[in-house]
């Protein structure tokens, strides 16, 4: 089967800074792929280029065989790529349910097949926020706000979901709940690509890891083999791998 997302020779310069340099990466349908690398290695930039937040300086991105390089974020979202941000984001003055309703207003025409939520309420139930549906997003505790971020991304009914540090700031119980949710997504037709620094989390979630260093991909393969790769260990020397 051809990959759901194929990134070829992707580069991004910010002035004199090379954030990405000739990155090739394929995401296979139905997998949970992890992207790791030290601070500043280009992980978030990779997501930002794929989702249209930044235009690439070179290379291409194709989604389900269609070239989406440089399209606007709304077009990429409508094509079926969802995104959660490092900072949990929601309309603070609106309640949880209203936030999910708004996020789901402009979904893809062919979305929804195989996904376990047919209504915003069902989606809140899936992420464990049903009891907070009428609370204002602005008063939610941090862990619940993160789950709302996941619900907002799922409300767009993505075929591919990009998660940027989804467990940052979560306690162990919240992280375990998040892992349980994310693991279910491929079974509902949602391919996942996740960035995180927490290698324990990545080992729980991902069978395959890609590693970035200074904007280049230095490893890509089964999680265990990548974490034992001398090139990867060297990059993280002194870190917490």
Q: What residues line the site for ligand ATP (CB under 6 A)? A: 14, 17, 19, 37, 39-45
CB contact at 8 A, 35 and 43: yes
In the complex with ligand ATP, the residue whose CB is nearer, 96 or 227, is 227
In the complex with ligand ATP, the residue whose CB is nearer, 37 or 104, is 37
CB contact at 8 A, 147 and 176: no
In the complex with ligand ATP, the residue whose CB is nearer, 138 or 239, is 239
Beta bridge mates, 34: 194, 209
CB contact at 8 A, 91 and 83: no
Closest CA to 190 of 130, 123, 91, 129: 123
Residues in the chain: 241
Q: How far is the CB of 37 from ligand ATP (least distance, A)?
A: 5
Q: How far is the CB of 29 from ligand ATP (least distance, A)?
A: 25
C-alpha span between 225 and 223 (Å, rounded): 6
Q: How far is the CB of 147 from ligand ATP (least distance, A)?
A: 21
Give Cα 7 distance to the centre of its chain: 15
In the complex with ligand ATP, the residue whose CB is nearer, 17 or 122, is 17
In the complex with ligand ATP, the residue whose CB is nearer, 40 or 221, is 40
Closest CA to 82 of 186, 159, 180: 159
Q: How far is the CB of 14 from ligand ATP (least distance, A)?
A: 3
Q: Is 134 helix (H, G, I), strand (E, B) or coil?
A: coil
Q: Would you state the structure tokens that stand for residue 202, as one six-digit string?
A: 């990545």
Q: How far is the CB of 25 from ligand ATP (least distance, A)?
A: 14
């Amino acid at each position: 089967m051809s990959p759901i997302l194929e990134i070829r020779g992707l580069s991004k310069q910010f002035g004199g800074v090379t954030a990405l340099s000739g990155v090739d990466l394929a995401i296979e349908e139905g997998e949970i792929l992890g992207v790791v690398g030290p601070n500043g290695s280009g992980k978030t930039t990779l997501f930002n280029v794929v989702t249209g937040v930044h235009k690439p300086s070179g290379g291409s991105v194709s989604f389900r065989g269609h070239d989406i390089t440089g399209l606007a974020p709304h077009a990429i979202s409508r094509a079926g790529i969802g995104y959660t941000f490092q900072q949990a984001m929601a309309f603070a003055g609106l309640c949880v349910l209203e936030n999910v309703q708004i996020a789901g207003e402009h979904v893809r025409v062919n979305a929804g097949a195989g996904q376990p939520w047919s209504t915003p309420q069902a989606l809140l139930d899936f992420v464990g926020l049903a009891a907070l549906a009428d609370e204002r997003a602005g008063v939610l505790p941090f862990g619940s706000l993160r789950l709302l971020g996941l619900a907002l991304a799922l409300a767009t009914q993505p075929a591919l979901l990009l998660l940027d540090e989804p467990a940052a700031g979560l306690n162990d119980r919240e992280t375990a709940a998040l892992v349980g949710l994310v693991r279910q997504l491929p079974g509902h037709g949602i391919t996942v690509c996740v960035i995180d620094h927490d290698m324990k989390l990545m080992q729980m979630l991902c069978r395959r890891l890609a590693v970035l260093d200074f904007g280049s991909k230095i490893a890509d393969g089964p999680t265990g083999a990548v974490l034992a790769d001398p090139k990867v260990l060297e990059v993280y020397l002194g870190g917490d791998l």
